[in-house]
Amino acid sequence: MPQPTPEYIHVELPIIQQLTSMGWQYIEGSWDNPAITERENFKQVLLIQRLKAAIKRINLDDNGNPWLDDIQVQTAVSQLERLGANRLMEANQAATELLLKGTTVLRQDGKQHTVHFIEFDPENLHRNNFLAINQYRVDPPWATGNRGFIVPDMVLLVNGIPLVVIECKSPNLDNPITEAIQDLLKYSNQRGSSQPEGAEKLFHYNLLMIAASRGRATAGTISANYEHYVDWKDTIPSPQAEIAAQLGVSELNFRQTLIAGMLKPANLIDIFHNFTLFKTSGGRTIKIVPRYQQYRAVYKALHRLQHNQTRAEHGTDDQRGGIIWHTQGSGKSLTMVYLIRKIRTIPELRRFKVVVVTDRRDLEKQLADTAVLTGEPLQKAKNVKKLEKYLQQPGAGLVFGMIQKFKSGEDSDEEAEIEPIPKNLNPSENILVLIDEAHRSHAKTLHTNLLEALPNCVRIGFTGTPIVKAAKKTTLQIFGSFIDEYNIRQSQEDKVTLPIVYEGLEARGTVTQGDDLDKLFEIIFADKIPEERAQIKAKYATKTQVGEARELIKAKAKSMLHHYIECILAGGFKA
């Protein structure tokens, strides 16, 4: 048994108890005997027998019977063991693709058939095996005897495949989360050490790395550094009160919330299957999983799409849409990508044509580049005729267009009295229009044209500024009620966006006392030496009109410009 340290009592044990309450099996690990954790030696990271059993269990023929023989199963396992990549990120990307898409084996009929390692169908998740092992020793290739091995506090394996690594730290430490992240970087050999110090193979299949302490846990991917580990503050689709009642607490702490929200078996499989992306940024490949507000927004949007009334059912307006208000810099374009990917996995929503609309060329390019991550072919309308053609086509699809295209002014950004796209171009109820920066031009006639062209569509507006009034109506009146809200205060608390810090500047409009002007003078010209201040005062002390005090205006303008630049530099988005 592990020693009853504060780390074990307050962090590791409660995590084990919460995981088992959610359906995870549990094995207490060993530093001495690999057989206890179902391995031949500590260099192995896959639990081969569990993996083979799962492959047979989840790959069934049309009659619901296993069809793989032992040789075919071993062929599939060998594909997963030998990823053909040396670098960690390359290996992880290859493993992720293999786990998501499966591999192929030769069947007795002489044809190649796909073999899956994980069951992603929500109706059949019971075919998977979920196992938590604490004190999971792994020996790197260079380790000898009992030297050089690593022991993460917790490893979560699905079908014998290690998808999650959790490092726990005592609440008595000054910075337990930081120290846990440091260990995770060490274990994955990512601290930039001159000598190898980790076991990268354990992380070839990794989805999440979690740093945990008594009341808090943060999560990141293998490409994450310290600043990229974030909290998960929701338990959707389960109510937080329900989870708290199951755990016997009045309110969940951040660690309990993250475990319930990310590590519930169904949620973990869902995040892996529908919300995991790779993208290149600055010449570097990074792995992305959703933030809690993105995941929550997708689920709330899906609920409306599946349960609310269409325009025909309601009689006046379609009730399936609304507004996703996520502050600037919180990843709205990725939320769109996640929503599209998730829609394509739901049979009753899979048939939807998705139309992504923006009002600026740079935003269209940005969104189109991001939407490539859905893996779905894009139909990008470069002119009105192309847009009409794409919108009119029956069935599913992914269409990109600018709001200006909803008048026939080709590439013009100017409002013009030109014949718009034909009314009732496509009356289908199975059209979802995702509108970026919905607080801008969508209150104008262009938006009316959109509604007339697609009269029965669902509209979801994405905005960081829903309170701004447009020409006639507010965003709320146009799109309906809020689907999800994530404001700037929340994003700053989550360290997703940096707070804009304003320097206290003196800007008095009136002078009530004679000494007020003297004090203001000293503040404004604090960067001047006494001789310069005396010269300025002598030159302008007798001026009665502020407009004549050119030096004063120049100094104010300089201060304002300096302050503005500082604010710009202070703001921004953390990837």
- Per-residue pLDDT tens over the stretch 245-278: 999 999 999 999 999 999 999 999 999 999 999 9
**Single-letter amino acid code for the residue at 458:** V
Residues 336 and 228 in one domain: no
Residue 419 lies inside a defined structural domain of this protein: yes
Question: Would you state the pLDDT for residue 552?
Answer: 56
Residue 288 is assigned to a structural domain of this protein? no
Structural domain boundaries enclosing 548: 514-570
CA–CA separation, 413 vs 339, rounded Å?
29
| Residue 129 pLDDT | 98
Residues 392 and 518 in one domain: no
From the list 397, 311, 308, the residue with the least C-alpha distance to 355 is: 397
The one-letter amino acid at 172: N
pLDDT at 192 (0 to 100): 86
- State the maximum Cα–Cα separation within the chain, in Å, rounded to a whole number: 102
**Nearest Cα residue to 355 out of 322, 380, 373:** 380
- Does residue 439 share a domain with residue 344? yes
CA–centroid distance for 422 within its chain: 38
Contact at 8 Å (CB) between 450 and 406? yes
pLDDT at 574: 38
Q: What is the pLDDT of residue 294?
A: 97
State the DSSP code for 494: T
The pLDDT of residue 437: 73
Determine the pLDDT at residue 522. 59
Residue 514 and residue 498: Cα distance in Å, rounded? 41
Mode of pairing for the β-strands spanning 397-402 and 208-212: unpaired
Query: Are 157 and 131 contacting, i.e. CB atoms less than 8 angstroms apart?
Result: yes
What does DSSP assign to residue 31?
A: S
Q: Are residues 372 and 486 in the same domain?
A: yes
* Interior/surface letters 223-258, b for 16+ CB within 10 angstroms, e for the rest: bbeeebbbbbbbbbbbebeebbeebeeeebebbbbb
**Domain count of the chain?**
3
> For strand 217-220 and strand 284-288, is the pairing parallel, antiparallel, or unpaired?
unpaired
**Cβ(440)–Cβ(422) below 8 Å:** no
Q: Which residue positions in the chain have pLDDT lower than 50?
A: 1-2, 408-418, 468, 470-472, 502-509, 543-548, 566-575
Domain finish residue from 227, 246, 281: 281
CA distance 552 to 524: 8
Q: List the 353-358 sheet strands across, edge first.
A: 379-380, 397-402, 353-358, 431-436, 458-463, 322-326, 482-486
For residue 286, being part of any structural domain is answered with: no
pLDDT in tens, 510-539: 555 555 566 556 555 555 556 666 666 666
- pLDDT in the model for residue 227: 92
> Can you tell me the distance from the alpha carbon of 48 to that of 57, in angstroms, rounded to the nearest whole number?
14
Q: For residue 160, is it within any domain? A: yes
Phi, psi angles (nearest 5°) of residue 12: -65, -50
User: Do 259 and 365 share a domain, yes or no?
Assistant: no
Measured distance CA(48)–CA(44) in Å, rounded:
9
Hey, how many other C-beta atoms are within 10 angstroms of the C-beta on 530? 7
Sequence-ordered strand ranges (E) for 229-363: 277-281, 284-288, 322-326, 353-358
φ/ψ region of 375 (left if φ > 0, alpha if ψ in -120 to 50, else beta) reads left
* Domain end marker among 493, 527, 544: 493
Domain CATH for 430: 3.40.50.300
Distance, CA of 439 to CA of 359 (rounded, Å): 11
Residue 502 falls inside a structural domain: no
562 plus 430 within the same structural domain: no
**CB contact at 8 A, 174 and 185:** no
Cα angle vertex 463, ends 460, 464, to 5°? 155
Q: Is residue 292 part of a domain?
A: no
Question: Whole-angstrom distance between the N-terminal and C-terminal Cα of the chain?
Answer: 40
Q: Are residues 45 and 172 in the same domain?
A: yes
Q: Which residues of 282-297 are buried (b: 16+ CB within 10 A; e: fewer)?
A: eeeebbbbbbbbbbbb
Assess whether 114 and 175 both reside in one domain: yes
Which helix (H) or strand (E) is 32 found in, with range?
Answer: none
The answer to the question of residue 489 being in a domain is yes
For CA atoms 170, 176, 181, 183, give the dihedral sign.
Answer: negative
User: Do 258 and 343 lie in a common domain?
Assistant: no
Whether 161 and 226 share a structural domain: yes
Alpha-carbon distance of 392 to 424, in angstroms, equals 10
- Asked whether residue 188 falls in the same domain as residue 329, the answer is no
Answer yes or no: is 92 within a domain.
yes
The answer on 117 and 76 residing in a single domain is: yes
Tokens of 139: 């020996």
Strands 397-402 and 353-358: what pairing?
Answer: parallel
Residue type, 353: K
pLDDT for the residue 256? 98
Residue 425's alpha-carbon distances to 260, 302, 357, 368, 422, in angstroms, are 45, 25, 16, 24, 6
